[in-house]
Amino acid sequence: SKSIDQYSPSPPVPGLGKSSHFPEVGIIMGSDSDLPTMLPAARILDTFGVPYELTIVSAHRTPDRMVAYARSAASRGLRVIIAGAGGAAHLPGMVAAMTALPVIGVPVKGSSLDGVDSLHSIVQMPRGIPVATVAINNSTNAALLAVRVLGAGTPRLREAMEHYMRSLEGEVLTKVDKLER
Ligand code: RP5
């Protein structure tokens, strides 16, 4: 199977976000107010050495930009899209409607309905256009899922994920050890 270095996607489109050279994951969000919630996803991808781009795409305030982003995503070399949004959070679903790439939705907690509005908006996609939905505000899990998706065809990433899982296990076992001592 192909190593991650062998992919040669087309270069990023100017104006479509802050990018590493050949991003494989697109992290988008409806507003800069979502940034603190979405940054942990970027940190996870940094940890796993997965190149990504990160930008703001608002479904209702910049609809043309959303269409351009989603329609160009696959040809620009992206393999997975992580989309975070709050409120009537249609960004992940609309993007999934315009690309065949896997889309992972992050329900962002807003001020009035505790993020349940975003969760329901993202998770309740009608039949035919799936969005993989993670827990409210859990962009960490969105990135981990993106790494697993990429890892299905990239042994280096699958092994890194196994290593990460063992480190989680180790953390808990260390605590058990301390507690029982
Ligand atoms: C959504 O509305 C964004 O995803 C954000 O979560 C929410 C509030 O946006 P701002 O009013 O903070 O820009 O579009």
- Please state the domain extents for the chain: 4-180
Cα 37 off chain centre by: 12
The whole-number pLDDT of residue 134 equals 98
The closest-lying atom of ligand 1 relative to the alpha carbon of residue 108 is 6
Please tell me the pTM assigned to this model. 0.89
Residue 34 near ligand 1, beta carbon < 6 Å: yes
Beta-sheet pairing, 18-19 with 52-56 = antiparallel
H helix or E strand, kind and range, residue 175: helix 155-180
For atom 5 of ligand 1, which residue has the closest CA?
86
The whole-number pLDDT of residue 19 equals 56
In this predicted structure, the answer to whether residue 6 has a pLDDT above a threshold of 60 is: no
Q: Phi and psi for 75 in degrees, rounded to 5?
A: -70, -20
The whole-number pLDDT of residue 1 equals 38
Evaluate whether the domain defined by 4-180 bears CATH number 3.40.50.1970: yes
The whole-number pLDDT of residue 84 equals 98
